[in-house]
Structure 1
Amino acid sequence: MRVSLKDVAERAGVSIKTVSNVVNNYQHVTPGMRARVQQAIDELGYRPNLTARHLRKGRTGIIALAVPELGNPYFAELAGAVIDAAAEHDLTVLLDHTRGEREQEMHVSQGFRARVIDGLILSPLELEADDLRSRDDDVPLVLLGEREYDLPYDHIAIDNVAAAGVAVRHLLGRGRTRIAYLGARTDSSNRPAHLRLAGWREELTAAGLPAPDSLVGPVGGWDRGDGAEAMARLLDSGVRPDAVFAYNDLIAIGAMRVLHERGLRVPWDVAVVGFDDIAEGRYGAVTLTTVSPDKQAIARLAVESLVRTLDRSARGEGDPVGRELTAEFRLVERESTLGRR
């Protein structure tokens, strides 16, 4: 039989209210009383009924995370971090992937699961500010990613321009001067990649180097094959870079494969830097130098933003003002720019 608060209270010789205060971690409980109740909890194996707790607050205890592609290792790793962060608040995470399609992002953002979830964390690629401004769903929303919106929703990101600049400065510091960028989108100028492209261009210009379009490799997607195709096109055009900065690690890995097939050695002939610090980049024949976003911080900030909005709503406070929250990043230097030591 399920152990109840009453059972714990009887074992500890205290009131049910005192047990509830300990379980809910209220501060106004003496250390001695807390230890006494905790001992009874441990002896009886009591587990809180989280469903009942959420229902008393008018919530389901479920939040959703919607990302462009769960098959992308970055988003898979981010999803794991969100699940861990949500567990700290006794929340369960429902996962969705939108394939980066505007129709599906609209479907998700407009509350198609409004009766199931308490809040939504969304990483959009295609949605514009007006799409979200017309949102008539009152489920709290937190935005992830590079897109910049002037909306009443918290937005969690890293400084992508600065991060790209750090990657390019690292390559410049290794003596590279013909640095290509792989990751410009072929289908839209208003895609997230424009921030990393801007960082690449700004850093080359600051160093007094040209940043011609001939060094920019467009891609149709974000996967290894897209990087391989972009690298092959660049080389076939007669351009010979001495370094590559890629929009993400998958594109960088695809590019390194083509460089190997063309007889170009990484990093001696062409140095390569990726972005995302996925596990795959740590275990290739040549390990990948990459920009590593703090995924745990991104996840924690996103979940805490949702919880903050839910708590404000429960207290009857006004609509929140959207905040821009920034997570840290760092450059992880590996063999694709340093060589083997």
Structure 2
Amino acid sequence: MKGEVPMSGQPKRVGVSDVAKRADVSIGTVSNYLNYPDRVSDTLKAKIKAAIDELGYVPRQSKASQQRAVSNGLIGYVMTDIEHSLFTDIFEGIQEVCEDNDMQVIGANASSDAVRQSELVQMFVRIGCSGIILSTVMDSANDVDAARAAGVRIVLVDHAAPMSDVPTSCILEDNQMVGQMAVEELVRGGCTRLAFVAHSFDYQSVQDRYAGVRRAVERYRGTVSLELIDAHGLMVEDGYEVGRELVRRIQDGREIPDGVVAASDHLGIGVIRALSDDGHLRVPDDVCVIGCEGVRISHTAPVEMTTIDAPGADIGRKAMIELLDAIENPAAYVSSVTMLQPRLHRRSSTR
């Protein structure tokens, strides 16, 4: 399910994402229908055409060509951390839509530094980008205000709208659903003592995943327990220390969780490595482990880790389409929040 929440009474312009939803196909398939019809089967063409006719969608090609006469066709993308594959997946989705519209995207890495993030936004404003897509480190009201004050449209990804009077479009994964899906997967496998392993609750995604975990556990009140474990970081080595602590607990005769929800995949991989290195506890026989991101290193653990995968490329496509709408139709631009749903990727670390 995908929800879009208008924040004013103004009507929202029908976009490619609306056509995709009505036709029950991906945004990329609609883009191919409009730009490379030979790549789309006759069956899907019929479904997409019916959706276009029903919604009254008007392709933006003519408007885009007019816009490019006064635009340099350059988009800036500020990513939180280039080492995290979610943000490179988002980049690929942005790039796909840019190529379909004869535009170019420049990606820049904020390295999880809020000051650097602001500097990069200002740089993209100075070089005259037509728009900016911002994967924000923290609440970004100042960056949104600065871009819009300079007449540059901005769309946020992986973060909800900051406290700002400026209309802002936000595209993000439903991270509360991530937490709920992780709990359901563990409970399905027979786990009853769960732990949420996390750090950096300043990150909105971590907050939301924890909220989803708590909500799901509440439904099993009396039969499923929940422990919060602070890993003091989000990297593999931090998860490794958590795994070692679980081993120490079992050696001391103390109870341990039989299901671990790792706020980051790196944490989950660290937990699995520690348990595998020691040998006292087996994954998934004694402890099941599930990650919340679906990063590209998830398969590198000694036991391949089950993950809840983020729809990174779809986030990027949707963000770029929203940005095009904002650039081409500034008077009709309204604040909105689009939630894209995660997907379960079951591997060997859960039962």
TM-score interval, normalised by the smaller of the two chains? 0.7 to 0.9
Identify which of 92, 113, 121 aligns with 2:133.
121
* Whole-angstrom distance in 2 between the partners of 1:77 and 1:148: 21
Task: Find the counterpart in structure 1 of residue 337 from structure 2.
Answer: 324
- Of 249, 259, 266 in structure 2, the residue corresponding to residue 243 of structure 1 is 259
Distance 1:134 1:81, change over 3 A: closer
Alignment partner for residue 200 of structure 1, among 198, 203, 213? 213
Query: In terms of Rg, which structure is larger?
Result: 1
Instruction: Using the TM superposition, give the Cα deviation of residue 277 of structure 1 relative to its aligned residue in structure 2, in angstroms.
Output: 1.8
Change (3 A) 1:219 1:78: farther
Match for residue 290 of structure 1 among 302, 307, 311:
307
Q: Is the 8 A contact 1:298 1:327 kept in 2?
A: yes
Aligned to 2:347: 334
Structure 1: give runs of 5+ residues left out of the alignment.
1-23, 26-52
The yes-or-no answer on 1:103 pairing with 2:119 is no
TM-score w.r.t. length of structure 1: 0.73
**Alpha-carbon distance between aligned partners in 2 of 1:226 and 1:87, rounded to the nearest angstrom:** 40
Give, in angstroms, the shift of residue 224 of structure 1: 1.7
Q: Secondary structure at the match of 2:89?
A: helix
Name the Cα RMSD after superposition: 2.7
How far the C-alpha of 1:259 sits from its partner, in A, is 1.6
Instruction: State how far apart, in whole Å, the 2-side matches of 1:74 and 1:229 are.
Output: 25
Report the equivalent of 1:82.
94
Residue 241 and residue 55 in structure 1: after superposition, are their counterparts in 2 closer, same or farther (change >3 A)? same
Identity %, equivalent residues: 25
In 2, Cα distance between equivalents of 1:93 and 1:112: 11
SS in 2 for 1:75: helix
1:300-328 per-position Cα deviation (integer Å, ceiling 9, x unaligned): 10110111111114xxx25x211111212
Q: How many residues align?
A: 280
Query: Secondary structure in 2 aligned to 1:335?
Result: coil
Name the SS of the counterpart of 1:279 in structure 2. Answer: coil
Q: Please state how far the C-alpha of 1:255 moved relative to its aligned partner.
A: 1.5
Matched residues in 1 for 2:126 and 2:143: separation?
Answer: 17
Aligned partners of 2:118 and 2:239: how far apart in 1?
28
Q: 2:196 aligns with which of 181, 187, 190?
A: 181
- Structure 1's 295 and 56: CA in aligned 2 closer, same or farther, altered over 3 A? closer
Counterpart in 2 of 1:275? 292
Query: Does the CA-based 8 Å contact 2:133-2:155 persist in structure 1?
Result: yes
Q: In structure 2, what is the Cα distance between the partners aligned to 1:105 and 1:56?
A: 27
Whether contact under 8 Å (1:111, 1:139) holds in the other structure is: no
Partners of 1:235 and 1:123 lie apart in 2 by 37
1:118-171 C-alpha deviation (Å, 9 max, x unpaired) = 111111122254664465332111101144535511100121112210110110
Counterpart for residue 258 of structure 1? 274
| Inter-partner Cα distance in structure 2 for 1:282 and 1:208 | 33
Offset of residue 239 of structure 1: 5.4
Q: List runs of 5+ in structure 2 lacking aligned partners.
A: 1-33, 36-64
2:155–2:323 CA contact under 8 A, matched in 1 = yes
Aligned residue number for residue 302 of structure 1: 319
Query: Within the alignment, does 1:223 sit opposite 2:239 as a pair?
Result: no
- Counterparts of 1:40-59 in structure 2, within 5 Å, are 57-59=69-71
Kindly provide the CA deviation profile for residues 318-341 of structure 1, in whole angstroms up to 9, marking residues without a partner as x. 5x2111112122111111113xxx
Change (3 A) 1:220 1:69: farther
1:183 Cα shift?
1.6
